[in-house]
Structure 1
Amino acid sequence: MATMTMIQALRSAMDIMLERDENVVLYGQDVGYFGGVFRCTEGLQARHGRTRVFDAPLSESGIVGTAIGMAAYGLRPVVEIQFADYFYPASDQIMSEAARLRHRSAGDFTAPMVIRMPCGGGIYGGQTHSQSPEALFTHVCGLRTVMPSNPYDAKGLLIAAIESDDPVIFLEPKRLYNGPFDGHHDRPVTPWSKHPMSDVPEGYYRVPLGVPAIHRPGQAATVLTYGTMVHVAAAAVAESGIDAEIIDLRTLWPLDIEPLAASVRKTGRCVIVHEATRTGGFGAELAALMQEHCFYSLESPIERVAGWDTPYPHAQEWAYFPSPARIAAALRRVMEE
């Protein structure tokens, strides 16, 4: 085991897969010599060469389009979109080509590729560097959508994503890049801040896609969440004193519904938390699923705690985020019903 930040864990995963599989290639804007804007790929070009880790022009559609061709040919490209906000020019390539390739070819071709995207706010990046677009990807059949909450899961999930024969959208919360936190930050967590690290195996291991994890066991209520909000929810549970079970989705879709439903049937109460805008967010899908699977076990209405229905508020982002206080208030409401 070694102590790693999420950045170091992601780099370790890519390093291992470049070593294990000659078909793996890494590229994107500044990911080669520079090591990426967040330094996730730092040193990998020097270690594996410029034909395996290289820079691409500032063209998201070109990056993803060439990755689809490489994947259909038999390579396993891992490409980086510098910020999740920048994926929109490549949306047709992702949603109309990569996601459909297996189906439209009747299984003759697959798209074993990973698209890494730093997502979410917390660094005062403004409207074009802070979005959480995960719900857009979960709506598209044929894509796998992943968002880890800690370095251990980040490494294992990325290895599993690279080995997947389907295209994977791998979303990386920027607030967690330098380690988990206690959920109470009132200032940006920059890529250069120092935060606690996590124990991560140095070698190869997988965290299976599609399997949620119980972050905290509990009996009184269930919190369904993912990414940065796992840690904020944990702070809220501690603040509220309510014995809530926190489930970290890890993979948003496809997702094993039964562990989520089993928890909600056990507790009878459910709070769903995500950083993205509330309306049309992935929390709405989770609420519908829990209503379908757990209706006769629910003791109170399902609560959602999310970002505002507004363009990303640069100057007010720390008010925009679900806070421990907002989540604790939702937990108290479901307990009072």
Structure 2
Amino acid sequence: MAEMNMLHAINSALRIAMEKDSTMTVFGEDVGHFGGVFRATSGLQDTFGRARCFNTPLTEQGIAGFANGLASNGMTVVAEIQFADYIFPAFDQIVNESAKFRYRSGNEFNVGGLTFRTPYGGGIAGGHYHSQSPEAYFTGTPGLKVVVPRNAYQAKGLLLASIRDPNPVVFFEPKRLYRASVGEVPEGDYEIELGKAEVLQQGKDITLLGWGAQMEILEKAAEMAAAEGISCEVIDLRTLSPWDVNTVAESVKKTGRLLINHEAPLTGGFAGEIAATIQEECFLYLESPIARVCGLDTPYPLIHEKEYMPDALKTFEAIKACVAF
């Protein structure tokens, strides 16, 4: 075990995967000798050479198209989109090509060895072009897996599992936690199963559900609720597509209440899909309406970032309202 922040954990995962798979390449804007804008790929080009870790032109559509081509020829590919806000020029390549490669060929060919890494979310005063949380756009696309880690340990295990998964994966990294999330991480190889949520805290009064950077917010809100005598069960979804319906439904049947927290805007956010599914699964068990504490339906505001964020206080007030319903 070693003390690592999330960037070190991601770098360690990439290094281990490249050591064990000679077909693996890593590329994106400035990821070569510079190590990427956040330095997540530092040292990889020095170790593995310019043929396996290299810079691309500033064209996200080209990065995704090139990634599809390499992966369709059997290579393992990790392509970095420098900010999730700039994944949209690559949207057509990802949702119309990556996601459908296997289906359209009847499994004669695929791009299963493809992973897109991209930093998402606010909290760094990045303004409206460097703070968005676009994960929900990809959850509605059959053929893609969508993964979001909450800390350094999770980031390494989930990234290694994503790289080795036989399906294309979009891996969203909470950039607010890149250097803030520090913990004990195994130096060796390990994987965390995709599609499986984790219950972080047992409780009996309400289920709190989130992913990524918002898990820290949920844990703080749960502490505040505990001081008021409210027992919260806290669950990290980790994989949004496919998401772990059974673990969430079992929890809600026990607590009778569900609060979903995410940083993306409320309308069209993934919380809506979760709420619809859980009310179908748990309708007769619900003691209050399913609550959503999310970002605002506005472009991400630089000057009002604090007001925009679904923080612990907003979550705590929503918990109390659910329990008092």
Fold agreement, TM-score > 0.5: yes
* Offset, 1:208: 0.9
CA distance in 2 between partners of 1:28 and 1:84 (Å): 13
Show the counterpart of 1:52: 52
**Counterpart of 2:130 in structure 1: which amino acid?**
H
Residue by residue over 1:24-77, the C-alpha shift from the partner in whole angstroms, topping out at 9 and shown as x without a partner, is 100000000100100000111111111111000001011010100100100011
CA distance in 1 between partners of 2:180 and 2:185 (Å): 12
Native 8 Å contact 1:151 1:179 kept in 2: no
Native 8 Å contact 2:210 2:262 kept in 1: yes
Show the counterpart of 1:76: 76
Show the counterpart of 1:336: 324
Show the counterpart of 1:188: none
CA distance in 1 between partners of 2:178 and 2:204 (Å): 31
Native 8 Å contact 2:24 2:75 kept in 1: yes
TM, length-normalised to structure 1? 0.94
- 5 Å-filtered alignment, 1:262-277, equals 262-277=250-265
TM, length-normalised to structure 2? 0.98
**Counterpart of 1:60 in structure 2: which amino acid?**
E
* Alignment gaps of 5+ in structure 2: none
Equivalent residue for 2:246, pick from 250, 254, 258: 258
Equivalent residue for 2:201, pick from 216, 222, 233: 216
Show the counterpart of 1:206: 191
Show the counterpart of 2:214: 229
Residue by residue over 1:169-218, the C-alpha shift from the partner in whole angstroms, topping out at 9 and shown as x without a partner, is 000011111133xxxxxxxxxxxxxxxx2111001000011000012221
Specify the SS of the correspondent of 2:22: coil
Specify the SS of the correspondent of 1:91: helix
Specify the SS of the correspondent of 1:314: coil
- Does 1:323 pair with 2:314? no
Show the counterpart of 2:98: 98
Show the counterpart of 1:191: none
CA distance in 1 between partners of 2:217 and 2:287 (Å): 24
Specify the SS of the correspondent of 1:171: strand
CA distance in 2 between partners of 1:139 and 1:318 (Å): 29
Specify the SS of the correspondent of 1:284: helix
Show the counterpart of 2:125: 124
Specify the SS of the correspondent of 2:149: coil
Show the counterpart of 1:245: 233
Specify the SS of the correspondent of 1:294: helix
Specify the SS of the correspondent of 2:77: strand
Show the counterpart of 1:281: 269
Show the counterpart of 1:15: 15
**Counterpart of 1:108 in structure 2: which amino acid?**
E
- Does 1:3 pair with 2:8? no
CA distance in 1 between partners of 2:297 and 2:9 (Å): 33
* Offset, 1:268: 0.3
Specify the SS of the correspondent of 2:103: helix
Give the number of equivalent residue pairs: 321
* Offset, 1:292: 0.8
Show the counterpart of 1:158: 159
Native 8 Å contact 2:237 2:244 kept in 1: no
* Offset, 1:264: 0.4
* Offset, 1:229: 0.6
**Counterpart of 2:105 in structure 1: which amino acid?**
S
CA distance in 2 between partners of 1:42 and 1:122 (Å): 24
Residue by residue over 1:239-297, the C-alpha shift from the partner in whole angstroms, topping out at 9 and shown as x without a partner, is 12221011000101112210100000000011000000000000000101110111010
Show the counterpart of 1:62: 62
CA distance in 1 between partners of 2:318 and 2:8 (Å): 35
Show the counterpart of 2:30: 30
Native 8 Å contact 1:179 1:198 kept in 2: no
Which structure 1 residue ranges, 4+ long, deviate > 3 Å from structure 2? none
Show the counterpart of 1:305: 293
CA distance in 1 between partners of 2:44 and 2:200 (Å): 32
**Counterpart of 2:239 in structure 1: which amino acid?**
T
Show the counterpart of 2:168: 167
Shifted more, 296-305 versus 213-222: the winner is 213-222
Native 8 Å contact 2:225 2:232 kept in 1: no
* Offset, 1:227: 0.5
* Alignment gaps of 5+ in structure 1: 181-196
* Offset, 1:15: 0.2
Native 8 Å contact 1:150 1:179 kept in 2: no
CA distance in 1 between partners of 2:116 and 2:7 (Å): 16
Specify the SS of the correspondent of 1:169: strand
